A and B are shown apart, each in its own frame.
Chain A
Amino acid sequence: MSGATTWQRLRDDAAARTAGAVLGAVILAALFAPWLAPFDPTVQPDPVSLRLLAPTPTHPMGTDAFSRDVLSRLLHGARISLGVAAGAMLLSVVLGTTLGALAAVIGGWVDAVVSGLVDVLIAMPRLLVVIALVATFGALSPGWLVLLIGGSGWLTTARIVRAEFRDHLQRDYVLAARALGASRRRIIWRHLLPAVAPQIGVAAALALAAVIPLEAALSFVGLGVQPPMPSWGNILMDGTDYLTTAWWLVVFPVTAIALTVGAALVLADRLRVAIAGGERTP
């Protein structure tokens, strides 16, 4: 049988590889932004004669209203936006996996509390909750953004992990391990987590796809990353004032967001297909 595991099937999937390459390129661009960016993202060299320049070889994505290089700002913005997104995604996936796993394995009141919490919180619109919190505590540092966005995003992961764990707990290979005397810890780490890792991967990719627009939206309304620190959201906000006269201020940040989110969504989808493929051919 070829493509024995979900991960091998994913590697053999052209769409998944393309999406992975796009995501990888964006992450590399963010990591190496200081070396890749042609200009300082915050310096305003000449706000009079160099403002709102259309793309040229020197400024491939033009300049903004303060004469700053848009490409340099997007590259540096990627660090903030992707950093916040990755941190929030990680936090929500770790939190969701832990709570979902404990709810499934321990059951009883732990399950009741976690499931009840998920049911209540999932009914709340996330963006509004986050905006309300930010409005209460004022503008937030990137660290607090990670905590806030990540802390509100674990619900779906917890739900998926709980359901998958409960399914696998009833399977014969887990019963056989229990009959051998395996501890809960061993069953979780040796059997359940490896089994559910692809589904957690889907949840992580979906979380990333949800978190990037959320950070952008917060920064866009001025509650997220504060200027002059660039993020994809506040670059976009700066650009909307000139939407009719300087298209490059909006098109490039929107493309960056769409490309990254799209790649994460494609990856989640292909991973789901790879998981289903394994269930069709046992």
Chain B
Amino acid sequence: MTALLELRHLTVEYAARDRRAPAVDDLSLAISRGETLALVGESGCGKTSVGRAILRLLEPTAGSILFDGEDVRTMRGDVLQRFRRRAQVVFQDPNASLDPRMRIGEIVREGIDIHALMPRPKAELRVAHLLEEVGLPASTAARFPHECSGGERQRIAIARALAVEPEFLILDEAVSALDVLVRQQVLQLLATLQSRRKLTYLFIAHDLAVVERVATRVAVMHRGRLVECAPTRQLFSAPAADATRALLAAIPRIPWETRASGEGR
């Protein structure tokens, strides 16, 4: 397996009033093609900053971000636009991530329009297919975000990301805002899409419970630093870092529930 994405000594600092506050501190990490790497940590640990830095939504202080061997930080013009098509994102709160003034059809079509991928009638057909691919009727295109449920909206956000045919998807707490039942359905959808489209996922979450079933490997962050990175099964059965043990202890357990993998605590 070759690395699709490689972070080397990534550091992100926010300018605080009197000192520099590191959100991400010297983080190195590689993601292989086709895998799901979970990036986990309590809120404020810097995991969202990692995702945003990869997508060039914020400027890192130091380090490099290699996507398919090319440094994302130095990309410009056409090269950057090509990268934008290959790496996409789904955010946590579909209330906030969909423009409330646009119809679903326009929202899903935006990437196609930006990259001028196809003429309008064909694009509309494509939007219908995308909506069906994420489990929504094609007629959803005529609706507005506020006319859709939370689960539907998250499917729309996924369809928008898929519209530009990405190979890498950052799921930034993509299922955290959903209730348990809907979460399972969206996770199922993500798994289906991954195998069908050969997607690579960076799955950012604060909750280890969600990650257990979907991740190939888990990376744990604590106060901006990477404290542990291990295959999922190994991380759950033999956690090495204190931060990992704390996250495992935070998973709510029904006493009589038996677990298939690992013993949790």
Interface residues, chain A, with chain B CB atoms under 8 Å away: 1, 4-5, 171-173, 175-183, 186, 190-191, 194-195, 282
Contact B96 A181 (CB under 8 A): no
B-chain residues with CB within 8 Å of residue A181 when the two chains form the complex: 80-81, 84-85, 111, 114-115, 164
Q: Which residues of A contact B157 (CB under 8 A)?
A: 176
B144 adjacent to A4 (CB under 8 Å):
yes
A22 to chain B, nearest CB (A): 29
Do residues B91 and A177 form an inter-chain contact, with CB atoms below 8 A? Answer: no
Q: Number of B interface residues at 8 Å Cβ cutoff, please give it.
A: 31
Judged by a CB distance under 8 angstroms, whether B125 is at the interface is no
Decide if B101 touches A5 in the complex (CB within 8 Å).
yes
Are B95 and A176 within 8 A (Cβ)? no
Check B110 against A172 for contact (C-beta < 8 Å).
Answer: no
Q: A180-B164, A182-B110 are in contact. Are A173 and B99 (CB under 8 A)?
A: yes
- CB of B88 within 8 A of CB of A180, answer yes
Q: Rank and list the top 3 A-B pairs by shortest CB-CB distance, nearest first.
A: A181-B84, A172-B97, A172-B96
**Do residues A4 and B89 form an inter-chain contact, with CB atoms below 8 A?**
no
Q: A1-B146, A180-B84, A180-B111 are in contact. Are A195 and B101 (CB under 8 A)?
A: yes
Q: Which residues of B contact A190 (CB under 8 A)?
A: 99, 102, 110
Report B-chain residues with C-beta under 8 Å of the C-beta of A179: 55, 57, 84, 87-89
Cβ contact of B114, chosen from A5, A175, A180, A194, cutoff 8 A? A180
For A191, what are the chain B residues with a Cβ–Cβ distance below 8 Å?
99
The complex places the Cα of A160 from the Cα of B147 at a distance, in Å, of 30
Q: Which B residues, 31 to 53, have Cβ-Cβ distances below 8 Å to chain A?
A: 52
Least CB separation from A281: chain B residue: B146
The CA-CA distance from A183 to B111 in the complex, in Å, is: 11
Measured CA separation A5–B100 after assembly (Å): 9
Instruction: Select the residue from B52, B81, B85, B110 with max chain A CB neighbours within 10 A.
Output: B110
